[in-house]
Structures are given as C-alpha cells and as structure tokens.
Structure 1
Amino acid sequence: MTDQKTLMAVCGHMDQIAGVRQMEFQDGRAAGLRCAMIHNGPLELPLMLDKCLDPAWIRYKGINLSLLTKPGLQGRNPYDTAGDEAVRSIMGGAMFTCGLGNVHGNRVVDGVEYPVHGRMRTTPAEKISMDAFWENGEYKILVSGEMREAQIFGENLVLRRTIETTYGSREIVFTDEIENQGFEDQPLCFLYHCNAGYPFLVPGLRVVMPSIFCGPRDADAKAGAAAWNVMEEPVEHAPEQVFQHELAADRNGNTFAAFVNDELQIGLCIRFEKSVIPYLTQWKSTAAGDFAMALEPTNCGFDGRAGKTQSLKPFEKHENRIRFQILDGKDEIKQLEDECREVLECTM
C-alpha cells in the first residue's frame, strides 16, 4: 500500500510508519550524540550528526545487521584523533567514513602524524537538512549535511553528503560530493568501512562479490587467504586479516560486494561504481569478543596516503555513490549469485 490517499485513509500521520526525527542520547560516552533517526518501514538507521552523518546501525525488520565494538556507542571524544588512543573511539557502526587526508592506521608520513582512519569519521555535520514528503507516489526521506576537513595554511576539503530512501524500500543511498576548496592540489583518500555484526554476522556467513584479485596484507592474512569469503568460528586472540580486492564490473561499470547469511536468508549488498571507487578492502576478525567483518569500498591501497594517492586540483570535485541493498529470501540471494557469475564472465 503506497498510494498516498489510500495509505493516509488508515494512517493519519506518516510518522506512524516512516519518517525522520532528530534525537539525542543522554548517558555514557554517547551522551550528547545527536542523530537523525530514519525509519522507512522495514529499515531503521540513526545517522550520527556529530560523526559525518554515518549510520550507527542498520536494522532490518528488527534484526541488527551492524557491528558495535567493545567501546560502544559514543559521540565525539578528546581522544578521537590522539595517536594510538584513537582506537578507543572506533565503535564500528553500520559504516564509518575514513579519510579524507588518510585512511590507514596512526602513522607519520613526511614528518606529519595522521590519526587512525583519518579525521572525517569524527567530523560533525553542518548545514543539516532533514525532510520526508510525498513525490510522484513515493514517500521520500532525505537527510543532508556538510563536513569540512581543514587547517590554516593547509587543506580545505569539503564533503557534502545526502542520504535518501523511501517508505517500504530496502535500499539506502549515500551520495558524497568531495570538493577541494583550497588553492593547492590535495591528496584524496577515502574508504567506506561497512561493518557486519551479530546476529547477522555468524560463523558460516559468506561474502559474495566478483573478486578478480585478492591480495593479503601480511602473513596472518596470507594464512587465511583460502577462506577469505567465509566467516569461521570465533577463536581467542585470533589475529585480524585484511585483504585487498579488485572487483569486476558490469557493462555499465557498476560492481558490488555482499554479506550473505543463509540461515536468516538475508543479504546486505553494497553497490558502487568501479571507475570512481576502484578497490575494495576486506577486514576480517574472528577474535572472540572482536568478532567482525567489514567490506570497504576505497580508492586507496594498504598504504593509503603513504602510497600512490589520488589528488584533487583546486576547486575540483569528486562524487561517490554508495547504495546499501537488503536481500530477503533464497530467490534474491540466488539472483545475486547469478549476477556475480555474469559479471565475472564479462571479464573473461
């Protein structure tokens, strides 16, 4: 039932079934964290206004799909970008945005120290807009805002983000426009850290994506390379494994990576355009208590800023579009697997 007149005959106010509202957490390290809480029927996600409009979680029909690490839900902290202490602010979430100056761990490059996964993930949004309205027979939900990474006598990078979905939809679209508003070329690093967690992430969860190259980061990853696409049982003190993938694309240049839980018959597919986001990093941790997996569309290799890096000319813009799609049922999962085979065949 999506016709406005028919629907509103039984639903006096659309907030009953879909919409967006600003809310604020009140206690613990999350105290003061403001969110734009979106619910569209099947999906619920709070966009953190104080942390790059990233989604703290995604729940589908009440089932949590996302990771919440041991530090837990939290807003901005004095240690967010403080060297090795910054790992205490990695809460996971459904996605956190790494960049824009760097995406790697805390390290010094050319005499300058860069924080864990960059500064953008803890940058608060400005010029925030929220709306929900009927248009062409659809009830649309939109949130937008702007984040800035800048310093005097340094970079001036602006990220404008729009998030959109519709009532009854199983899709969420993030559109990012990144602009260099400075007068010098600037390195551009970005990585979308998309995280799966329990009860969606369980032993046996599979990754489905058209990978044509999988490179392990180190010896620990090399030891687990044969099982990169399957989540194993948790093991105490197991080392994390990180892989760099190159994905095949379809005839329109689009590609994807998906988590699939066969027991729940649910998949979470992340779609993007390969020409603007050429790689995908995979993070896998089977450590007991740190049980996690992430699929991370990126324009960087393992070395991030320290390696070969994309750059933006003064006032040049770059646009990314990340589409989250929920798959429900065996038929939709099979369609995704068929799509994966077809995309791989296009490269042969």
Structure 2
Amino acid sequence: MNRTETLARVGSMQQLAFVRSMRQEDGRAAGMRTIEVKNGPLCFTAMADKALDVARLEYRGQNLTFTSKPGLNGRNPFDTHGLEAQRSIMGGLFFTCGFENIGAPWRDPQGREYPMHGRLRTSPAEHVGHDAAWEGDDYVLSVHGEVREAELFGENLLLRRRLSTRLGEPALELVDEVVNEGFRDEPMMLMYHCNIGWPLLAPGAEVVIPSLGAEPRNEDAAADPTPWSGVEEPRPEVPESVYLHTLAAADDGSTFAGVVNDGLGLALVVEFSTREFPCFTQWKSMASGDYVVGLEPSNSSVHGRGYHEARGDLHRLPAQSSETKHLRFTVLDDPADIAALRRRRDALCGRP
C-alpha cells in the first residue's frame, strides 16, 4: 500500500506506527530515558542512557530476546568494576561491548583495569533524536544519537548511532560510525552482544550459523556433550559454553547468524559482513534462569584485551579517522524464508 492509500485510511500515522520518548519510573531503571519504536508488527525499545542499545524486540506482541535477572536497569555504580558488571548486564536484543576491552576484565602490567565488556554499554547517549516520516512510499522510523568514550589525557572516541525500521517491515537496521576525534591512534575493540531468549529459544530450536569450525573457548565448552547448534531444556547450574566460530561468507563478506524455532514458525537473524566483523562468538547458556543464546559479531577476539596485547595485533583506530559498522536484524515467519535461510547456510559452507 502506498503513501496516499495509507493516509486515506488513518487519521494519524500513530494509529499504525510511532516513535515515543519515555522516562522509566520503577526500580533500577528509574529515571532512564528510553525510546519505543513500533512499525506495525515490530516493536523495540532503545535505551538512550545506555548507548542506545536495544533492550527488547517484539514481533506481533511476542518477545524474542533475553532479559537477565536484574531486569531493565539504568547505569549503576558497579557497572565497570570487574565482574561486578554482571549485576548490570541485562541482555536485550543487543548491548555494545568496547572500546577498550571486550570479554573478561583485564589488568595490564601497569595496574590499569579494563572492565568486563568495556564501558561503552553503560555510557549515556547525547544529541538523541528520533523521527517518523515518509520517504517516498516508505514510512521510516528512526532513532539517532552519539555516545562518547573519553578521558582526560586519554582517548576521545565517538560512536554515532542510527537505528531505523520501516512500516510493516520485520527488520531493524543499525548503522554505527566510530570516530577517533583524538590526536593519537586508539584501541578500538567492538562487539555486538545479541541475545535470544524464550520462547523463541526452546528445546528443538536450532542455532543456524554458516560455521566452518567452532573452537570451544575453555574446558567447560569442550566438555559440553551437546552440539553448539542444539537447544535443550533449561537445567539448574549448567555451565555456559562459548564457541569461537570461523564463518563462511559470500564474496562480498556478507554472512549471518540466527535462531530458528520451527514449532513457532519463527526465526531471528542478524546479518553482517566479515569485512567489518572478522570474529564471531556464540554464547550458549542452558542454565535455569540464565537461558539464552548469544550471537556476537566483533572486530576482536572475545579472549579480550590481554590476548591481543600479547599477540601484538590489538585493533586500533588511527587519529582523526573513522570506521562504519552495519547490522540488520530480521524476523522470519514464512516457512519458505526459513528454509531459504538454511539453504543459504549450506551454500556458504559448500554443502550440497
């Protein structure tokens, strides 16, 4: 339906789709600015006070993402204190890890501490704005803002983020530009921690990744008797398993990862490029109360800052330069599209 036909049928476009600023009032989220975006079937919440990360994604009223025990929460005093960060990591569709570190906390030989998954995910956005407007026959809803990671006598990195979706389209696009506004080259580690939860994540669901090989991160993952692609019933105190995948990709670098639930007839897929994200990690937790699969494209290894420092290959962003990253999240609800996703995986991996 085009613009004219749509406008003839509604009084306000808010009847169908909207972008709304809100401020939370309860519990740990009290005072936090959020922006709710609904494009018809798809609805998501961006957290303006936490890097404009997306807390929740719903499709036709059904939540598809994981929320950890602390629930929706704003910035807390323990956010960047070593493993205390686990008290504020809430999951969501994704949270942004970086820039100084991803993975476990690390202390360098000089005693400087680098917190778990970095500081970016807890940094509030500035210059936040949003819009809902016609672009030809597409009604586009968008949110944008800037997140700065900076220190006196230290780094000055700026993340310029835009989230956008279109009326009726089961997809969300993210474009991030990272700018080094300082005058020295800076470490720039970046990972998008995407988190899928129940009911999409359920026994019989499948993690669909065009993987050419999956390396267990540690002994717990190596000892896990279940396949990395399988999803089991939750069980108390099951150790998490983390896998470092080597991904197959098309000639232009395009690839994907997703979770398919044939029983629900739904899949959630994140698409990206291995040129922008040469590393990919899968987090699998089948523990009761911590039931989640994480899909994590990144420009660095989840082994973290110390790993790259030791190897001498820490990713750095030159002074006065920038890099742009792209992600696309898509919900599939057509069996033919889900079958095509599996065929795409097999074709990338060279399977018949």
- The alignment's TM-score, normalised by the length of structure 1, stands at 0.97
Partner of 2:64: 65
Q: In 2, distance between residues paired with 1:109 and 1:94?
A: 31
Task: State the shift of 1:226 in Å.
Answer: 5.3
Does the CA contact (< 8 Å) of 2:17 and 2:40 recur in 1? yes
Q: In 1, distance between residues paired with 2:253 and 2:307?
A: 25
Task: State the shift of 1:6 in Å.
Answer: 1.2
Partner of 1:250: 250
The residue type paired with residue 133 of structure 2 is F
Secondary structure at the counterpart of residue 93 of structure 1: coil
The residue type paired with residue 145 of structure 2 is G
Q: In 1, distance between residues paired with 2:166 and 2:302?
A: 36
Partner of 1:79: 78
Unaligned residue ranges in structure 1 (runs of 5+): none
Q: In 2, distance between residues paired with 1:344 and 1:113?
A: 40
2:322 to 317, 322, 330: 317
Task: State the shift of 1:166 in Å.
Answer: 0.4
Task: State the shift of 1:41 in Å.
Answer: 0.5
Task: State the shift of 1:301 in Å.
Answer: 1.4
The residue type paired with residue 188 of structure 1 is M
Secondary structure at the counterpart of residue 339 of structure 2: helix
Does the CA contact (< 8 Å) of 2:20 and 2:37 recur in 1? yes
Q: In 2, distance between residues paired with 1:329 and 1:140?
A: 23
Task: State the shift of 1:302 in Å.
Answer: 2.9
- Aligned pairs (5 A) from 1:84-95: 84-95=83-94
Task: State the shift of 1:343 in Å.
Answer: 1.4
Secondary structure at the counterpart of residue 307 of structure 1: helix
The residue type paired with residue 321 of structure 1 is H
Question: Between Structure 1 and Structure 2, how many residues are aligned?
Answer: 346
Moved over 6 A (4+): none
Partner of 2:194: 194
The residue type paired with residue 78 of structure 2 is Y
Compared CA separation, residues 225 and 100, structure 1 to 2 (3 A): farther
Secondary structure at the counterpart of residue 203 of structure 2: coil
Task: State the shift of 1:345 in Å.
Answer: 2.0
Partner of 1:272: 272
- The alignment's TM-score, normalised by the length of structure 2, stands at 0.96
The residue type paired with residue 175 of structure 1 is V
Task: State the shift of 1:81 in Å.
Answer: 1.0
Q: In 2, distance between residues paired with 1:117 and 1:124?
A: 16
Partner of 2:107: 108
The residue type paired with residue 207 of structure 1 is V
Q: In 2, distance between residues paired with 1:122 and 1:225?
A: 35
Task: State the shift of 1:99 in Å.
Answer: 0.5
Task: State the shift of 1:106 in Å.
Answer: 2.1
Partner of 2:184: 184
Secondary structure at the counterpart of residue 90 of structure 1: coil
Q: In 1, distance between residues paired with 2:271 and 2:139?
A: 23
- Aligned pairs (5 A) from 1:149-164: 149-164=149-164
Secondary structure at the counterpart of residue 10 of structure 1: coil
- Show CA shifts across 1:200-224 (max 9, x none): 1112221111101211011110122
Task: State the shift of 1:252 in Å.
Answer: 2.1
The residue type paired with residue 322 of structure 1 is L
Partner of 1:55: 54
Secondary structure at the counterpart of residue 287 of structure 2: coil
Partner of 2:344: 339
Task: State the shift of 1:225 in Å.
Answer: 6.5
- Show CA shifts across 1:143-191 (max 9, x none): 1100000100111111100111100001111001011111111111111
Does the alignment pair 1:171 with 2:165? no
Q: In 2, distance between residues paired with 1:239 and 1:230?
A: 15
Q: In 2, distance between residues paired with 1:3 and 1:232?
A: 44
Q: In 2, distance between residues paired with 1:186 and 1:284?
A: 31
Partner of 2:147: 147
Q: In 1, distance between residues paired with 2:68 and 2:131?
A: 31
Deviates more, 1:337-346 or 1:35-44: 337-346
Does the CA contact (< 8 Å) of 1:216 and 1:225 recur in 2? no
The residue type paired with residue 85 of structure 1 is E
Q: In 2, distance between residues paired with 1:78 and 1:15?
A: 38
- Show CA shifts across 1:317-340 (max 9, x none): 111101001111211110101111
The residue type paired with residue 338 of structure 2 is I
- Show CA shifts across 1:5-53 (max 9, x none): 2111121100111120101111111111111110000100010000011
Compared CA separation, residues 177 and 124, structure 1 to 2 (3 A): same
Partner of 2:17: 18
Does the CA contact (< 8 Å) of 1:149 and 1:158 recur in 2? yes
Does the CA contact (< 8 Å) of 1:187 and 1:305 recur in 2? no
